[in-house]
Structure formats: structure tokens, C-alpha cells
Amino acid sequence: MALLEVKNLRIEYPSRHGVHAAVKSLSFTISRGEIVGVVGESGAGKSTVGNAVIDLLSPPGRIASGDVFLDGEKISSLPRDEMRKVRGAKIGFIFQDPMTSLNPLFTVEHQLVEAIQINLGLNDTDAKARALQLMEQVGIPQPENRLKQYPHQFSGGMRQRVVIAIALAGEPDLIIADEPTTALDVSIQDQILNLIRELCVKKNVGCMLVTHDMGVVSNVTDKVAVMYRGDLVEFGPTAKVLGTPEHAYTQSLISAVPRSDIKLDRFPLVSYIEEATEMKPLDVKNHWLGQSEDQRDYEGPLLNVENVHLRFVTRDSFFESRREYVQANEDVSFEIHEGETFGLVGESGSGKSTIARVITGLYPPNSGKVTFEGIDLTALKSEAERRPLRRQMQMVFQNPYSSMNPRMRVKDIIAEPIRFHKLAENEQQTTSIVNDLLDHVA
């Protein structure tokens, strides 16, 4: 018997504009010890399926029809409190965004110990020992010190490892992992995937692994489910689906995977689209580039980061010798020239996001200098001095939730900087710029 059986599942999100069927009629199974990869473009309904299985669909989402069985028992219409017992003890889950699963108000230890005690009923001492063991298992250095910290003191990748530790805490039969390694660097990603793989084999745990990465699919999954606009277009053993894909969408998905042996000027795109939509060029380009090239009179590098050094105080004290620090950036220097795309890579927790925040002025460095077109940013003291530069430097954050106000409509979130910097003459033009930008990132 299958560990998980999803049968004719249909999931709808009702809205003022009508009902949107995010998942149309989906059926698949996962056996014990098996990793099933779920792939498909953004918006295909992958997360929706995972959330529906654990009864955590975001409102107003609902299962319109179909059933979910775990070990032969129907779990899709269980009362809330019974479902809560299934979650954690029988199904562990790892979301795309670690901050949604961690409570910012409690230490990591508190959250791990709680998960262990709820599911395994251990006493405090044993639960703490188990927490330490789990931290080591997911590869967090200095686990004793790290346990005492709060989630915001961890890097994005380390936070995700904590979430994985919590998911493993209840020793579940099934793990639902939604893009668990997207925020991690390649070496850590490998460790985490191997850990999940090992768990599935050794403990006979089943796993549903939602991912964008075809490399991950081919390396760790046994079967793969390909979703396209709410439908399952292909499902079968990984080698067969990747080797001889039947559906046109799967074929174009596979042919769009960049190859390391061929260097291309542009990344290939998934070409399969049910009904073709024409993409028009962005006609507001000049608004976003600021000054055009001939107006520039500064010759040097666009951005110059010189010997930046930043540390966070983890324990403050009046006495210097008793203060404790985490070193975030140590002597970082680089230049970025106009027209260049600069890649900053490094291990999880090595300080990549921190340096980006130093550049945009969110953190003042302890020492060192950042200049933009020759202007020393670290010397700008007030917001008024910084404002003219804000428009010229934009940050795209790792985690979209932290940069978007959940109470605002998407349209207004995008329109806000256009209004603020007075880039449009009227509301009508603002709307048209917003629409063009949305088309461009679609």
C-alpha cells in the first residue's frame, strides 16, 4: 500500500473575480522510502498541493473535491486537532521560506525542544540532548552557542537547516519539502539533500520534494511529477521521465536546463506555452536607468567596496573584553563597473547578504568604505543625503515576504517607488508602467 495517496484532488482559490482552480484533478502516490520530485513553472500549483496534504492551505484556498490518504487512512477531512497530531508526528514539512516556519520571538533551542517534546514526549534533558544532535545532523557549526540564538541571528541558509531539524524532530513517516534548498549554497544543498535521501532509505520515510532544479531531480528523486497550470502532465520513474519525456512541456523544460559544457550568451527559456502571449519591449526603460550614459561624468568604477569590515555584537557589555561578536564581513573589497553583472558567491552564512545591506546603507560598517560613482556612501549621515541615491541602487531581497507589505495590493507595492520618485506624470501612466513591468517579469 502507498504511504501517501492523492486522488483526484481539486483545489480552488475563490476571489472577487471568480474561482481560480490552482490544482485541477491531481492523482499520484508516494511509497515508503521513495522520493518523489514535483517540478513545474512558478504558479503551476506545486506548493498548493503540498499545503493541501498537510491541511495548511492559505485562505481562502480549499479542497473542492478529491481525497488524501496516509497509510490508507483518509486525512483530507480530519478535524483540526486530529490533523494537528498527524502534522509533525507523521508528516514533517519544510517550506520554501524558513521565516514562515520559525517563530521570531523564541530561541532556536526553545522551538526545537518544543517540537521534540510534543511529538516524542521526552523530558527536558533528553529533549535538549536530542536538539543538539539534530543541529549537528543538519550541519550547523557551534551548535551549543547557536541553540541560544534567535532566528534573525541566523543566515538564510542556516535558518533553513533549523527548519529541517524541526521537521525531523517528530521522526515523521512522510516529509513534504517545498524548495528546501533554494536559499542554500551548492555544498550545503548537497549535504541537506543527502541527509533527506539517507533518511528516506534508512528510516523508510517517503518524501515529496518540490523543486525548480532539474539537477536535484535527477540526482535525488526516484520518481518525478511534472505539473503545468494545475494539471499533472507526466508522472513516472525519474530516469524514464528525464530520458524519454512524453509531454511537450516536459520536453521543453528539460531542454531549457543550462549545460556546463556549453557556454551560452543567454540562458535557454522554457518554450512551451499553451496559448502564446506576446511580450512587448519595456518602453519605460529610460525611467529605470537614471542618467543615460553620455550624461555621466564620473569615469571610475560604478561601485567600489574597500576593506569593509562588519561584526555583530551577540553579547553586549560595558567592558570590551566581555563583548562577544559574530564576524559578518572581514576586509571585503571589490569593484563593479558599469554594464557589469557581478556575482558574489560563498557558503551559507559567509556574509553575502550583509555586504549587500552595507552597500545600500542598511548597516553601517565598522570600518572600510563604499563609494558609488565616487560618492562616499559611508560618509552620508542623514536620510536626506541618501535619498537621491536610493533611486539608483535597488535591492532585490532573498525573501520576498520581508520586502513586501502583505496588506498592500501588488499593484500598489510596485507603484509606490514610481510615485515616490515622481517617475510618472499621472496615475494613468503609473498604471501603465506597473503593467509593463509585470509583463516583463512574467
Ligand X SMILES: Nc1ncnc2c1ncn2[C@@H]1O[C@H](COP(=O)(O)OP(=O)(O)OP(=O)(O)O)[C@@H](O)[C@H]1O
Nearest approach in angstroms of CB 165 to Mg ion is 22
In whole angstroms, the minimum distance from the beta carbon of 422 to ligand X comes to 31
Q: Which of 26, 46, 156, 177 binds ligand X (CB under 6 A)?
A: 46
Under rule CB under 5 A, residue 47 binds Mg ion: yes
Among the listed residues 30, 44, 70, 434, the single contact to ligand X using CB under 6 A: 44
Q: How far is the CB of 145 from Mg ion (least distance, A)?
A: 33
Which of ligand X, Mg ion, none lies near 349, with the C-beta cut-off 5 to 8 A by kind?
Answer: none
For Mg ion, the closer CB: 46 or 90: 46
- Span near ligand X by CB under 6 A; candidates 35-43, 76-84, 242-250, 311-319: 35-43
Angle between helices 156-169 and 186-203 (to 10 degrees): 10
- Taking CB under 6 A as the rule, does residue 61 contact ligand X? yes
Pick 384 or 396: Cβ nearer ligand X: 396
Nearer to ligand X by C-beta: 13 or 363?
A: 13
Nearer to ligand X, 46 or 87 (CB): 46
Our finding on whether 189 is near Mg ion (CB under 5 A) is no
Task: Give the range of 41-49, 185-193, 196-204, 327-335 binding ligand X by CB under 6 A.
Answer: 41-49
Query: Does position 47 bind ligand X by CB under 6 A?
Result: yes
Q: Select from 44, 183, 23, 185 the least CA-distant residue to 101.
A: 183
Are β-strands 18-30 and 73-74 bridged in parallel, bridged antiparallel, or unpaired? unpaired
Closest CB 218 distance from ligand X, rounded Å? 18
Q: Which stretch binds ligand X (CB under 6 A): 46-54, 272-280, 313-321, 424-432?
A: 46-54
Span 203-262, contacts to Mg ion by CB under 5 A: none
User: Nearest distance from residue 51's CB to ligand X, in Å?
Assistant: 8
Q: How far apart are CA 239 and CA 166, in angstroms?
A: 32
Q: Which is nearer to Mg ion, 182 or 354 (CB)?
A: 182
304 is an interface residue for ligand X by CB under 6 A: no
Considering the complex, what minimum distance in angstroms separates the CB of residue 57 from ligand X? 8
Q: Does position 54 bind ligand X by CB under 6 A?
A: no
- Rule CB under 6 A: which residues touch ligand X? 13, 20, 22, 40, 42-48, 58, 61
